[in-house]
Chains A and B, each alone.
Chain A
Amino acid sequence: MGKVLVITSGKGGVGKTTATANLGAGLAMAGNKVVLIDTDIGLRNLDLVLGLENRIVFDLVDVVQGKCRSYKQAMIKDKRFESLFLIPASQSKDKEDVNPEQMRQLCNQLKEEFDYILIDCPAGIEHGFKNAVAGAHEAIVVTTPEVSAVRDADRIIGLLEASEKYNPRLILNRVRKEMVRKGQMMAIEDVQEILNIALLGIVPEDEAIVVSSNKGEPAVMDPGSKAGQAYRQIVERIQNPSLVYTPDLNGNGSFLTKLFKFFAKAEA
Chain B
Amino acid sequence: MLDIFRKLNWLSAFFPKEESAKRAKERLRLVLIQDQASISPGLMNLLRDEMIGVVSRYLEIDSAHLELGLERRNNQMALAASIPVLRVRREAGVVPEDNVQEEMLGQQSPTNNPKTADPSTEKHYRRNRRRYR
Q: Which residues of A approach B to under 8 Å, CB–CB?
A: 146-147, 150-151, 154-155, 157-159, 161-162, 180, 182-187, 190, 194, 196
Contacts and interface: CB of A to CB of B under 8 A. Distances in A.
Contacts, number: 51
Interface of B: 17, 19-22, 24-25, 27-29, 31-32, 35-36, 123, 126-127, 129-131, 133
B23 to A, nearest CB: 9
Nearest to A189: B25
A146 B24 CA distance: 8
Contacts of A159: 133
B19 A184 contact: yes
B36 A158 contact: yes
Nearest to A195: B32
Given A147-B24, A147-B28, A184-B19, 13 more contacts: A154-B35, A154-B36, A155-B35, A158-B130, A159-B133, A162-B131, A162-B133, A182-B17, A183-B19, A186-B21, A186-B24, A190-B24, A196-B123
Nearest to A158: B130
Nearest to A154: B32
Contacts of A180: 21
A26 B4 CA distance: 51
Nearest to A184: B20
Contacts of A182: 17, 19
Looking at A146, A154, A157, A162, the one whose CB has the most chain B CB atoms below 10 A away is: A154
Please indicate which of the listed interface residues B27, B35, B130 has the most CB atoms of chain A within 10 Å of its own CB: B130
A185 B130 CA distance: 26
A16 to B, nearest CB: 20
A154 B37 CA distance: 13
